[in-house]
Amino acid sequence: MSQAPEAPAVGGDLARFVAGLPKAELHVHHVGSASPRIVAELAARHPDSPVPKDPELLVDYFTFRDFAHFIQVYVSVVKLIQTQDDIRMLTYEVARDMARQSIRYAELTVTPYSFGLRDIPDEAIVEAIEDARVSAERELGVVLRWCFDIPGELGIPAADGTLRLALDQQPAGLVSFGLGGPERGWPRALFKPHFDQAIAAGLHSVPHAGETTGPETVWDALGSLRAERIGHGTSAAQDPELLAHLARTGVPLELCPTSNVATGAVPSLAAHPLPAMVEAGVRVTINTDDPPMFGTDLNSEYLVAARLLGLDAAGVADLARNAVTASFLDPAGQATLLAEIDAHLAAWVA
């Protein structure tokens, strides 16, 4: 399950174009971005952990038997993050992996409540990610922003803790407020008071919805949580009225094709609703979710999308522009990144 189930059948030329294409990523989890290289370093720091310390063995460790096993592995990696410096190192090294893929801007979904459970103080969590953010921008040319998300399965105490951390600490890089975890049994509306306060404080609303439940959860996220983008939203394809609403209002979807197959949200890449969504006029962005854990990266996801949509280099550049214009990067930053995309395409065509 850790490998992309169907390799993208597109030319090597397009792969080279995508590799050098300046990109933004809007749906990618902080701990879920820990590559075997990073996990090996964390495991070496904490030798009492069951996680292997050898990157080669870690590739096997990241081969999931099923979704329950994926959760088990994910939790074991979360448990490796025990100190402020672990958080700093993870964040900076994730940015290094992004720089290697020509990712210039990323909104990283951080779940600070899970670090609080390890007894890392709120101030220390924020100091670690902010220090890594400033260094990554200066040294690697990767601009990071944060989405603080509620681990929904931990209920109201986790929502309270996440909101308190966001409002009390107000990290400079924080732009949005999210909600993850299982959808079934955790209606989005349950967290309306938390989102109301986060929105009042100037944060954007970007909950997960419609990944593991039907289109009603997307409606719920749009109504109760005033979602400005939807995490996944794959099941929106089952509801023509919802697709029309998304197209009309311009609320973008953060699609993660390989993740959706790995978790069973869609049966196969060939059955992914991306083409139907584009056909309906919905704004789509391409993302990875938890890239090393799903055996993918953003370049691979762009190639998957290119194959599903039959895109050439110009079409792929349009997808990259979608992510920039759907981001919460300031207008000047967006203009710079859009110009870089234009220049890359122009050089390619020439």
Residue of 211, 228, 254, 301 marked active site: 211
Residues 97-156 that bind Zn ion (CB under 5 A): none
Query: Residues in contact with Zn ion, total (CB under 5 A)?
Result: 1
Q: Is 211 a catalytic residue?
A: yes
Q: What are phi and psi of 162, to 5 degrees?
A: -70, -45
At 280, list the tokens. 């309906």
183 vs 289, beta carbon nearer Zn ion: 289
140 vs 274, beta carbon nearer Zn ion: 274
289 vs 297, beta carbon nearer Zn ion: 289
Among candidate residues 96, 92, 103, 95, the one with its CA nearest the CA of residue 19:
103
Checking 58-62 for CB contacts under 8 A at 24+ apart, the result is: 59/2, 62/2, 62/36, 62/292, 62/293, 62/295
**Rounded to an integer, what distance in angstroms lies between the CA atom of residue 350 and that of residue 347?**
5
CB of 119 to Zn ion, least distance (A): 26
At 314, list the tokens. 């110009």
Among candidate residues 288, 278, 282, 280, the one with its CA nearest the CA of residue 308:
278
Q: Report whether 236 contacts 242 (CB < 8 A).
A: yes
Residues 273-302 that bind Zn ion (CB under 5 A): 289
35 vs 212, beta carbon nearer Zn ion: 212
**Rounded to an integer, what distance in angstroms lies between the CA atom of residue 163 and that of residue 188?**
15
CB of 138 to Zn ion, least distance (A): 28
* CA distances (Å), origin 347, targets 67, 170, 266: 43, 41, 37
CB of 232 to Zn ion, least distance (A): 7
* CA distances (Å), origin 249, targets 53, 281, 332: 48, 11, 24
CB of 258 to Zn ion, least distance (A): 12
CB of 274 to Zn ion, least distance (A): 16
**Rounded to an integer, what distance in angstroms lies between the CA atom of residue 93 and that of residue 99?**
10
Q: Which residues contact 86 (CB under 8 A, 6 or more apart)?
A: 42, 45, 80
Residues forming beta bridges with residue 289, ordered by sequence position: 28
DSSP helix/strand/coil, 101: coil
At 223, list the tokens. 């109504």
Q: In the stretch 231-270, what mask flags binding to Zn ion with x, by CB under 5 A?
A: ----------------------------------------
93 vs 149, beta carbon nearer Zn ion: 149
Question: What is the SS3 assignment for 107-173?
Answer: EEEECHHHHHCCCCCHHHHHHHHHHHHHHHHHHHCCEEEEEEEEEHHHHHHHHHHHHHHHHHHCCCC
CB of 39 to Zn ion, least distance (A): 19
**Rounded to an integer, what distance in angstroms lies between the CA atom of residue 34 and that of residue 126?**
18
102 vs 111, beta carbon nearer Zn ion: 111
93 vs 254, beta carbon nearer Zn ion: 254
Tell me which residue has its CB nearest to Zn ion.
Answer: 289
CB of 27 to Zn ion, least distance (A): 6
Q: In the complex, which residues of this chain contact Zn ion (CB under 5 A)?
A: 289
- The residues annotated with a catalytic role in the active site are 211
